[in-house]
Amino acid sequence: MIKNKFFIKINSIDNVGSVIEPGGIKAGTKISDDIMTIEYIPYAHKISLKSFKKGEEIIRYGETIGYAREIIPKGSWISEDKVELPQAPKLDELPVATKVPEPLPPLEGYTFLGYRNADGSVGTKNILGIMTSVQCVEGVLNVAVERIRQELLPKYPNVDGVMPINHNYGCGVAIDAPEAKIPIRTLRNIATHPNFGGELLLVSLGCEKLIPNKYLSDVEEENIIVLQKEHGFEMMVDIIIKKAQQCLERLNKRTREVCPASDLIVGLQCGGSDAFSGVTANPAVGYAADLLVRAGATVLFSEVTEVRDGVHHLAPRVINQEVGQKLKKEIAWYDNYLNRGGVDRNANPTPGNKAGGLANVVEKSLGSIAKSGSTAIVDVLSPGEKAKKKGLIFAATPASDFVCGTCQLASGITLQIFTTGRGTPYGLSMIPVIKVSSNTELAKRWNDLIDIDAGEIVTGEATIEDVGWELFKLILKIASGKKKAWADYWGIKNALCLFNPAPIT
Amino acid sequence: MIKNKFFIKINSIDNVGSVIEPGGIKAGTKISDDIMTIEYIPYAHKISLKSFKKGEEIIRYGETIGYAREIIPKGSWISEDKVELPQAPKLDELPVATKVPEPLPPLEGYTFLGYRNADGSVGTKNILGIMTSVQCVEGVLNVAVERIRQELLPKYPNVDGVMPINHNYGCGVAIDAPEAKIPIRTLRNIATHPNFGGELLLVSLGCEKLIPNKYLSDVEEENIIVLQKEHGFEMMVDIIIKKAQQCLERLNKRTREVCPASDLIVGLQCGGSDAFSGVTANPAVGYAADLLVRAGATVLFSEVTEVRDGVHHLAPRVINQEVGQKLKKEIAWYDNYLNRGGVDRNANPTPGNKAGGLANVVEKSLGSIAKSGSTAIVDVLSPGEKAKKKGLIFAATPASDFVCGTCQLASGITLQIFTTGRGTPYGLSMIPVIKVSSNTELAKRWNDLIDIDAGEIVTGEATIEDVGWELFKLILKIASGKKKAWADYWGIKNALCLFNPAPIT
């Protein structure tokens, strides 16, 4: 990283820099010995460090993020309209498992206080989850849950909360469509999440397509409440409350115990990214991911459209050909899915990403995959599939924050790290979410929402390693219930959002 | 309708009957002069009134609902596995506007007490709606709304409630995809629903794809709260509450006034249908729909997959060629949408429909379209499009209850009639939902959820006309706020669910 007062350059071969001067750089400013700005360049945006001919490669992160659409003089603002999108890496030409990283030295002795379950999994919260098999029941369930919160929860102080697992699936959907397996698998795996402690109530309507015993077969018959069998609304609410109380009795007996850090399953995600996300927050998270992997934990990174253009960096890191084939299959599936809908992976970047200095999905991707750190990729998961291995895993989910979060929950994450540059007040009630800002301005403005500021990496007050270690230690503390992430402190809860690429009927 | 103690036959040419004996009919029961049951036949299921050769037409509602898959002796149970699905009517062969019904005699003097808006629309409730431009903000908004409910609403007794318009759209979506117009239009039209009284707050994140001023342009700048501009969580909640209070002040001054029934926009929907839905509840609703149309109101019926196989009855009823082309276009779009996902319209029926005696989507459709009554179809709407005409309109939405409901809300319905046979405790908080049961058993079992029982039409205690008039009068009463539908009485609220056929990213 090369840095002066005005800009940083990430890789020595980069021919653009990113503005770090908070108010941007005025036209006519001498920013280095031989570069004078010829126009205003906003904060976080790219400045040309050389003169570009039309079609010449624009390089950031040591990679071609695009081609100059016109002549770009030295000292210009390289706004997104000047950058031609490159082709995505071709999947059939990807080198697979060619540079599998050697394991890093193990990190021993790190522990947290978790809730150990009968099946060996370990939770970070102690929640009563009430699954639903169809959206039709949620109106009744929500009334019951409100009463459980007010009337029952105060009697069970060891229980962190009650959560209706509401969703828009279950009926009015093409349940036999080839892709219906995605939302069904997601729901089935959420139902058995470690934070529900092996207890699970299920509220069913009785005529829905998502028949509980067929699709959610882990639920015992006595824990399924079928509304169509009940005699009216009041009896429905009563039976839900009664069954909930039986679960709460058992959940309340659970206590936290010392567990090795290897029992953690941590999900990584970013949302509202800016041009510093790939320089500060994501590399710091990558460092923490390496620490977690060294401690034996499972770490999931995701967001297919945000790794698509960096997949040539990932494929060599997968542990073997089999995992490599799975990676290619998932990426190809998504290419096809987008194509079917008349778009491509460049539908990903948001107006906020662009305002934050990200010219296109290539630049966004190269920053995004920094979250994955440097270890070998031991597995690839389809959306909503349960993680079964220790180490770094690519969970091939959409990049949409709420959809990615829901898929990662199904994969079993018990804590999530969420990096943001523009800022999003995101929270999942099932698990703690630690929010990492890519810039100090956001961390200050949202001081009661951002848990860790990685912006100091730009200002030089902290290194990637510093922030990585700080985050690793905060993960253990928050997973132990010793401290609350801001989202939990305020009770910020985003709804679950299933990924259903199959038709509705 | 031909009926005895054991079964009913709807059309004189039908060669099957539907069992009306609540416990079903035992094997060896003589059910008419020349028919003896040869096996047990469950309640609501079909009995063969003749012997069928393999491939012979099975006729109900005077229509071929399928072909005998095997030899079916007289007195058998015609279970779904014995019925071969017919081809759907071919769209290019449909006779369009060939039997446009003459207008029925106008029905004058019927009124209700509604909230008249500046734009001429009339609401049935007085609600503060708080729109969101992206799911990211809902965690913060929900905390604010809870405080508004507890701290502010008691001071504004004329306001019926506050509703966060949460949804899973806004970012992480392919906003330029051709089909993105559907969810965007739906949100834009929900934002200006008559029951929000012209007031609308909008909570935006600031970096989302669904830019408020671009896509939801009816919202004034001062009513848009951008979370990324606020200094932390507490300020976000404070500003939402402050802005909400300003709206509540104005909403609280609204009063109901006498409005002609022609100011009503009523949506029709069914969910959890059984074989009696098409004999009792739906025809009674169809009769009420005729009364509403005669009174000058707007009536919407929907659910493409449930009219697909009855479209040859609808196309002749459309008012002109233009509306006919729109009907064909919408149906063809849906055929293609299902096909792209690897399914067809027979993905519609649910296990509950089948347990309720509906063999396939043809039989379900013929029952479903009975809701539309007998008047001319004056317009066809794309999903989420606003209704602009008086009279009977086909709103081409999915059949999924929560998706259809959301689309109809966008189309502007201010009250919904929901028919059900198996039972669903469905409610929309934006508008009253009147639930009509197709059978008395359900009405009795769910006596605190079903608003009107149409089951008496089978037992002979009431006629279709009786129940139709009863429903028409109940609509006026509930629209006037003089009585609450059960769903509103208990506070049963199903979440909005947007129809988004475009990819997520």
Q: What pLDDT does residue A134 have?
A: 96
Q: What is residue B184's three-state secondary structure? A: helix
Q: Please name the residue that has the structure tokens 């504004």.
A: B156
Contact residues, chain A, for B178 at CB < 8 Å = 341-342
Number of C-beta neighbours around residue B459 at 10 A = 12
Q: Quote the CA–CA distance of A366 and B136 in Å, as a whole number.
A: 24
Choosing among B350, B404, B441, which should be mutated to test the A contact, i.e. which has the most A CBs within 10 A?
A: B350
Domains and CATH numbers, chain B: 2-84 (2.30.130.110), 127-251 (3.40.50), 258-462 (no CATH)
Among B365, B406, B424, B426, pick the best mutation site for testing chain A contact (most A Cβ within 10 A): B424
Q: What is the pLDDT of residue B275?
A: 87
**Res. A487: pLDDT tops 80:** yes
Compute the distance between CA of residue A18 and CA of residue B500 in angstroms, rounded to an integer.
Answer: 37
pTM of the model: 0.95
- Residue B177 has its nearest CB partner, among A177, A206, A343, at A343
Asked if the Cβ–Cβ distance from B426 to A232 is below 8 Å, we say: no
Q: How far is Cα A280 from Cα A464, in angstroms, rounded to an integer?
A: 7
In angstroms, rounded to a whole number, what is the distance separating the alpha carbons of residues A169 and A187?
9
With an 8 Å Cβ cutoff, are A227 and B178 in contact?
Answer: no
The rounded distance, in Å, linking the Cα atoms of B411 and B499 is 13
Task: Please say whether the beta carbons of B353 and B283 come within 8 A.
Answer: no
A346-397 pLDDT, tens per residue?
A: 888 888 898 989 999 999 999 999 999 999 999 999 999 999 999 999 999 9
Distance (Å) of CA A81 to CA A305, A384, B176: 20, 36, 17
Written as six digits, the tokens of B375 are 């008047």
Which residues of chain B are within 8 Å of residue A177 when distances are taken between CB atoms? 341-343, 347
Q: A-B interface: how many C-beta pairs under 8 angstroms?
A: 267
Of B171, B493, B501, the CB nearest to A350: B171
The 3 state secondary structure assigned to B88-153 is CCCHHHCCCCCCCCCCCCCCCCCEEEEEECCCCCEECCCEEEEEECCHHHHHHHHHHHHHHHHHHH
A246 against B353, higher pLDDT: A246
Look at B423 and A228 and tell me if their CB atoms are within 8 Å: yes
Q: Which of A400, A426, A505 sits opposite B305 (nearest CB)?
A: A505
Q: Do A353 and B445 touch (CB under 8 A)?
A: no
Measured from the Cβ of residue B26, the count of other Cβ atoms closer than 10 Å reads 11
Of B139, B445, B494, the CB nearest to A493: B139
- Provide the token pair at A208: 């829905």
Nearest CA to CA, how far is B465 from chain A (Å)? 27
- The answer to whether the Cβ–Cβ distance between B136 and A211 falls below 8 Å is no
The pLDDT score that the predictor gives to residue B3 is 87
Residue A332: pLDDT over 80:
yes
Supply the ipTM of this predicted assembly.
Answer: 0.95
Which residue, among A486, A498, A504, would best test binding to B if mutated, counting the most B CBs under 10 Å from its CB? A504
Alpha-carbon distance of B142 to B167, in angstroms, equals 12
Q: What is the mean pLDDT of residues A200-208?
A: 94
CA dihedral (A193, A194, A197, A198) positive or negative = positive
Its sign, for the CA torsion B30, B35, B39, B40, is negative
Question: What is the per-residue pLDDT across A399-441, written as a single tens digit (0 to 9) for each?
Answer: 999 999 999 999 999 999 999 999 999 999 999 999 999 999 9
Q: Is the pLDDT of residue A247 over 80?
A: yes
Q: Judge whether residue A297 has pLDDT over 90.
A: yes
Residue of A nearest to B175 (CA): A347
Task: Sort out which chain B residues have CB atoms less than 8 A from A271's CB and list them.
Answer: 136
Tokens of B265: 């926009």
Are B171 and A137 within 8 A, CB to CB?
Answer: no
Burial of A361 by CB count in 10 Å (0-12 exposed, 13-18 middle, 19+ buried)?
Answer: buried
Helix, strand or coil for residue A32?
A: strand
Q: Report the share of chain A in percent with pLDDT over 90.
A: 90
Instruction: Supply φ then ψ for residue B87, to 5 degrees.
Output: -65, 150
Residue of B nearest to A337 (CA): B503
Q: How far is A148 from chain B (nearest CA, A)?
A: 16
> Chain B partners of A494 at a C-beta cutoff of 8 Å?
135-136, 138-139
- pLDDT attached to residue A434: 98
pLDDT at A232 exceeding the cut of 80: yes
Does the beta-carbon distance from A233 to B136 stay under 8 Å? no
Inter-chain residue contact A425 with B227, CB threshold 8 Å: yes
Beta strand A265-270 with A298-301 is: parallel
CB atoms within 10 A of CB A269: 26
Measured between beta carbons, the chain B residues lying within 8 angstroms of A449 are 232-233
- Determine whether the interchain pair B347/A177 forms a contact, defined as Cβ–Cβ distance below 8 Å: yes
Chain A contact set for B170 (CB, 8 A):
none
Kindly list the distances between the CA atom of residue A36 and the CA atoms of A40, A47, A76, in Å, as whole numbers in the listed order: 11, 10, 9
Best probe of the B interface among A238, A308, A336, A424, by most B CBs < 10 A, is A424
CB B310 within 8 A of CB B368: yes
Question: For residue B459, what pLDDT is reported?
Answer: 84
Q: Render each residue's pLDDT in chain B as its tens digit; 505 residues.
A: 788 999 999 899 999 999 999 899 999 999 999 999 999 999 999 999 999 999 999 999 998 999 999 999 999 999 999 999 999 999 999 999 999 999 999 999 999 999 999 999 999 999 999 999 999 999 999 999 999 999 999 999 999 999 999 999 999 999 999 999 999 999 999 999 999 999 989 999 999 999 998 898 778 889 999 999 999 999 999 999 999 999 999 999 999 999 999 999 999 999 998 889 999 999 999 999 999 999 999 999 999 999 999 999 999 999 999 999 999 999 999 999 999 999 988 888 888 889 989 999 999 999 999 999 999 999 999 999 999 999 999 999 999 999 999 999 999 999 999 999 999 999 999 999 999 999 999 999 999 999 999 999 988 899 999 999 999 999 999 999 999 999 999 999 999 999 999 999 9
Tokens 């077969």 -> residue: A217
